Amino acid sequence: MNIGVVGLGYVGIVSLACLSKMGFKVTGIDTDQKKVDALKNGCSYIYEPGVDKLIKDGLKKGKIFSSNKINSSINDLDLFLVCVGTPSKADGSHDYSYIENVTKEIAICSKKLKHKKVTVAFRSTFQPGTIDKVILPILDKYKATNVDVVYNPEFLRESTAIDDFFMPSRIVVGTSDGSASKHMNQIYKSFDAKIFLTKFKEAEITKLIDNTWHALKVSFMNEIARISETNEINISKIYDIFVADNILNISKHYLRPGGPFGGSCLPKDLRALESLSKLHKLNNPIIENISLSNANHQEYLVNKILHRTGKNKKILFCGVTFKRNTDDLRESPWLSIANVLKEQNLDFDIYDSYYSSNKTNKEKNTFLGPISENIVSINDVRNSKYDLYINANNSIVDLGLKSTNTVLDLNRLD
C-alpha cells in the first residue's frame, strides 16, 4: 500500500516517518516548499526527537518521497492521510480553509482514477459534523465517487510522538456507517491497542473531549495548588493522596500542579468545544471557564516572579517553547510570561533547549518576536552569573545547576 501524507507539520511528519519505518512507501505532500525541501534533505522542518533518524532511514531504503502537489501523486497512492491545520477562528470554531482546499484538490484529481478507489483519512482535529457538512458536500460537488472517507484522530504528544504513534492507548476509526476500513486495517493490524469502529461524529468529537479533559485536569489541579499554597497546605502531599486513587480519579497524567496548559492542541480544541456549546445555547460553566482559570494561573505565576525579582537582580529564564524538546511556540504560556518580563524591563536572559542551540537560524528565531534578543547560548549561561534561575519548560535540566543556585520552579507549587 502506498500512502500520501498531506501536511508536514507535527502530526504529518511524525506519521510519515513512522509509516516508513513500518515498511510503507510514503509521499509527503505540502504546499510549503521549505518543508518539502527539508524532507528531501533527510530531515524534518519541525523538531521532534527521533524523527530525523527515521526520515534518513526511510530515504535510504527508498520508502520516502516528497511533493508539493497532490496532483502529481494521486495515481500511485491508495491512501491519503490528511494532517493539515485547523486553527482557531475569532469565535473559537475551527478554520477549515486548509481542509476544504485539500478536499477539493483530491476530489478534482480523483477523476484520473478510472477503476480504482482511494481512501482519504483525515487526522486533523474537527468539530463533530464536519465531514457531513464540509467534506462530503465538496466530494459530491466534484462527483468524486471513487473516494472513501475516514476520520482517524491522532493522540500524539509533542516530544514523545514516535512512542505515542507505535504504542497508542487506543485507535479510533470513523466511517460513514461505522464499519471497518480496508486501508486503515492494513496500517493498524499489528498494533497492540483496542480499535474502536464508529461513525463520523463519534470519531470527530473524540479528540475534542480528550483535550478539553486534559485542559480541565491541568486547570483543576492548579486551582487546588493555589488554595493550598495560600493556606499553607503541603500540595505535594495532597497530590500524592489524590493520584493514589486510580479507580475513581482514573489517571495522574496532567493532574500535576505547576504550569498553565498551552501548545497547539489543548487551547484550540477547548475553544472549539466552547464554540460548540455556545452554538447550541448550552450553559456549561466548567468548560466555559477553563480558559479563564488558565489565564488566571498564568497571571499568578507572573506575580510570583515579580515578587522574587528586583531591578538589581540578574535573571535567567529557562524555556520559552510550550514544552522542552520541541520548537513549538504556539500558545506557549512560557513565551507569554517571558514577554511580560520584557515589558517590565527586567534584566534577564533566556535559555531554551531548542532556540539557544539554534541561535544562528534567523528564520526560526523570528518566531520569538522581541524576546529573540534575550536568547543566549549555553556557553553564555555558563560564563555568566545569575541571582535567580526561573525554571519554565524544564530546559533548566541542561545546565547542571548546583544545589546552591537560587531557583524559582514554575512547574512546582509547594
Which of 18, 83, 109, 265 is labelled catalytic?
265
C-alpha cell at 218: 491541568
Q: Nearest to residue 261, comparing CAs of 211, 319, 303?
A: 211
d(CA 138, CA 5): 20
d(CA 347, CA 325): 26
Return the H-helix or E-strand segment holding 390: strand 388-391
- Determine contact, residues 362/329, Cβ cutoff 8 Å: no
Beta strands 195-199 and 315-318, pairing class: unpaired
Beta strands 79-82 and 315-318, pairing class: unpaired
d(CA 293, CA 31): 38
- Determine contact, residues 76/37, Cβ cutoff 8 Å: no
Other beta carbons within 10 angstroms of residue 334's beta carbon come to: 29
Angular region, 309: left φ>0, alpha ψ -120 to 50, beta rest:
beta
- Determine contact, residues 51/14, Cβ cutoff 8 Å: yes
Cβ burial of 257 (10 Å; 0-12, 13-18, 19+) is buried
The amino acid occupying position 328 is: D
Per the annotation, the verdict on 265 as an active-site residue is: yes
The residues carrying an active-site annotation are 265
